[in-house]
Amino acid sequence: LRRSNEIDWPTLLRVMNRAADEERSPFDAARELTARLFSEQRIVLGFRGESGGDPGEIMSGARREGEGLFGLKPTRREILNLAGDWEPEPAPGGASAEAPLAGAWLHRGGRWVSALSDAAFVSGLLPPHCRLCRLDRHEGNGGGKRFGGELALATRTRDGAWLPTRPARAIARLPRDLSTLSREEVETLLPEMLAEGLGGGAGAGFVERGNALSMLLSFAEKTMAVLRDRAGHALIDPPRREVAVEAETHYKDRDTGETRGSAAGSAARAWRKLGLTDEHGKPTERGTLFSFFQRGEGLAVAAGIEDESYPIDELLWHLVNLRAGYRFSMADVAGEGHGSERLAAACRRAYGPVDYEGYLQLGVPPGYGEGAAEAVEAWLSGDLARKRDRSRLGDDDEAGPGDIERAYIEWLSLLRHLRAAPTHPNPRWRALKDAAAAELKQRGATASPGAHWPTLPASILQRHPQHRLSFRRLGPAR
């Protein structure tokens, strides 16, 4: 009986998390557990101060442990906030929303300006036949520069009546037999009739220039998609950048305050580089979610949970890829958009294209099958054959019906694991658990293709057993 030298990360992280919750040392709890395991070789986690072997020999890979392909590292998207500092980009649906332009900001010429003070921006909002104007000059309130629009409504005739202009007639869809209006009718009726064609602008007064009467348009209440920085300021299309995340690899003893490094190639260093533990050895939220699973599946689930722009219903379906295997590829279902590749992108964005034996290969869990979600979806809908007719893949390595059925069964097993997994305060984790339970309930008794086997034919059921050994079938002796 021999025990594998592969270290069980999820179990160790669960033990360390419990120790931290009980105000005990996570390091001592991890060492105590590894010391009690049956193994010929001492299991070294890599916390400085341990002895018993080179952790680089225990955890080895095709490349140096934790080294990304071509030196690539995990990345993080950042935006420039109103204060001029870079901060993590908020996810859509979180700090991303719509806000009125009165309080929105634009980045122009290396500085932030009010959206309505930028002439080029406001010009893009104007409806046809409307010219740019300075609203602050008409208001006379001493405020800063603010642009709006000016739309000619009517011209005065010799008898003092007002004739609507062609643009006003077209936008308001005035009847042809309508000839002239009074000044009061122009100012009360036309703005209401023009409202839908003003591109979100609202009347802000009237101005008379010679014989022409124009309406001033303000876009202060027009809403537009914005991102809010940490201070809550509404930013329109702020500058963005993508930076490499430099992972810390040291640990700090909470009791003594001593800072210790972690051995290269060790589990302790891997946990820090992947963001699974903090400097005190307590598992992070990512590490806690990872510990609910076996091997590298939890890393993919945690990466999907962290990407708040990733819809939960899509993430749930894309989990088909996790246990699908190498026989799948994006070419198995050709001619369609492949949304499940987003799960791999989320993994590589969170961890980089790194290798950790048994947990990550090029940034995704071992056994990851790209495109399996689309193949299973086509198989369930009976559309797989038609889509494969357009596929460029024609060799013997493509996934067959048995592989697709196995991927489907493995996905259902993963959903059951999710449904029974521990609770966590993260709302997206709770939503994923609820979605898994709802999916399993919807599929019911027909969830597994092996739930109903075909009946055996009578020729097999009535066949008498053969207790003789036929040497002819065995062939000549060698």
Neighbours of 94 (CB within 10 A): 11
Instruction: Write down the pTM of the prediction.
Output: 0.63
CA distance 320 to 318: 5
Q: What is the pLDDT of residue 391?
A: 42
CA distance 19 to 28: 9
CA distance 398 to 318: 19
3-state SS string for the chain: CCCCCCCCHHHHHHHHHHHHHCCCCHHHHHHHHHHCCCCCCCCCCCEECECCCCHHHHCCCCCCCCCCHHHCCCEEEEEECCCCCEEECCCCCCCEEEEEHHHEEEEECCEEEEHHHCHHHHHCCCCCCCEEEEHHHHHCCCCCCCEEEEEEEEEECCCCCEEECHHHHHHHCCCCCCCCECHHHHHHHHHHHHHHHCCCCEEEEEEEECCEEEEEEECCCCEEEEEECCCCCEECCCCEEEEECCCCCCEECCCCCCEECECCCCHHHHHHHCCCECCCCCECHHHHHHCCCCCCHHHHHHHHHHCCCCCHHHHHHHHHHHHCCCCCCHHHCCCCCCCCHHHHHHHHHHHCCCCECCCEECCECCCCCCCHHHHHHHHHCCCHHHHHHCCCCCCCCCCCHHHHHHHHHHHHHHHHHHHHCCCCCCHHHHHHHHHHHHHHHHHHHHCCHHHCCCCCCHHHHCCCCCCCCCHHHHCCCC
Q: Which two tokens stand for residue 295?
A: 């091997």
Q: What is the pLDDT of residue 335?
A: 43
CA distance 412 to 415: 5
Q: What is the pLDDT of residue 73?
A: 62
Q: Which two tokens stand for residue 419?
A: 């449904």
Q: What is the pLDDT of residue 333?
A: 46
- Of 85, 86, 114, which Cα lies nearest the Cα of 100? 114
User: CB within 8 A of 288, min separation 6: which ones?
Assistant: 13, 17, 424
- Of 81, 385, 22, which Cα lies nearest the Cα of 241? 81
Q: What is the pLDDT of residue 177?
A: 65
CA distance 362 to 356: 9
Flag residues of the chain having pLDDT under 50.
51-64, 68-70, 93-94, 331-337, 389-396
The C-alpha angle with vertex 449 and arms to 448 and 452, in degrees rounded to 5, equals 100
| Amino acid code (one letter) for 471 | F
CA distance 116 to 102: 7
Q: Which residues of 253-286 are buried (b: 16+ CB within 10 A; e: fewer)?
A: bbeeeeeeebbebbbbbbbbbbbbbbeebbbbbb
Q: What is the pLDDT of residue 321?
A: 93
Q: What is the pLDDT of residue 180?
A: 77
Q: What is the pLDDT of residue 429?
A: 96
The distance of Cα 83 from the centroid of its chain, to the nearest Å, equals 27
Partners of 354 in beta bridges: none
CA distance 332 to 321: 13
| Amino acid code (one letter) for 141 | N
Q: Are the beta carbons of 424 and 289 closer than 8 angstroms?
A: yes
Q: What is the pLDDT of residue 39?
A: 66
Q: What is the pLDDT of residue 246?
A: 66
Q: Are the beta carbons of 298 and 291 closer than 8 angstroms?
A: yes
- Of 12, 46, 4, which Cα lies nearest the Cα of 32? 12
